Structure 1
Amino acid sequence: MNEIFEWGRVLMNDLPFIFLLEVIFRCLVMFVVVLFSLKLTGKRGIKQLSIFELVIIITLGSAAGDPMFYEDVGLLPAITVFICVLAFYRTVTWALKFKKFEHWIEGKPAYLIVDGEFVIERMKKEDIAVDEFYAELRMEHIDHLGQVKLAILEVSGDISVFFYKNEDVKYGLPILPQEVRNPVKKIIRKGLFACVSCGKVHELEIASEVICSKCGKNKWIEARNNFRVV
Structure 2
Amino acid sequence: MSEPVQPFDWGRMFIHDLPWTYLGEVAFRTAFMFVILLTALTVSGKREVRQLSIYELVLVIGLGSAAGDPMFYDDVPMASAVVVFIVMMSCYKLATYISDRNKTVRQVLEGKAVYVVENGCILTENFDREDLGLEELFSDLRVEGIEHLGQVRVAILEPNGQLSIFQYKPDEVKFGLPILPNELKKDTEQIEESGKYACCNCGYVESFTAPAGLENCRRCNQTKWVKAVH
User: Which residue of the partner structure matches residue 92 of structure 1?
Assistant: 95
Q: How does 1:24-43 map to 2 (within 5 A)?
A: none
Q: How does 1:105-184 map to 2 (within 5 A)?
A: 105-184=109-188
1:222 matched to 2:227? The reply is: yes
User: Which residue of the partner structure matches residue 82 of structure 1?
Assistant: 85
Structure with bigger RCO (C-alpha 8 Å, 6+ apart)? 1
RMSD of equivalent CA atoms: 2.3
TM-score, length-normalised on structure 1? 0.73
**Which amino acid in 2 is paired with 1:143?**
E
**Which amino acid in 2 is paired with 1:184?**
T
Contact 2:197 2:227 in 1 (8 A): yes
Detail structure 1 runs of 4+ shifted over 3 Å in the superposition: 1-5
Deviations 1:164-223 (A, max 9, x none): 222222111111111112211122222210000000011123334421111011111111
> How many Å separate the matches in 2 of 1:178 and 1:111?
26
Deviations 1:18-58 (A, max 9, x none): xxxxxxxxxxxxxxxxxxxxxxxxxxxxx942222222211
Paired residues, number: 184
User: Which residue of the partner structure matches residue 63 of structure 1?
Assistant: 66
> How many Å separate the matches in 2 of 1:48 and 1:210?
43
Deviations 1:97-135 (A, max 9, x none): 211111111111111111110010221111212222212
SS in 1 for 2:128: helix
User: Which residue of the partner structure matches residue 18 of structure 1?
Assistant: none
User: Which residue of the partner structure matches residue 40 of structure 1?
Assistant: none
Contact 1:48 1:158 in 2 (8 A): no
Contact 2:208 2:214 in 1 (8 A): no
Deviates more, 1:65-74 or 1:111-120: 65-74
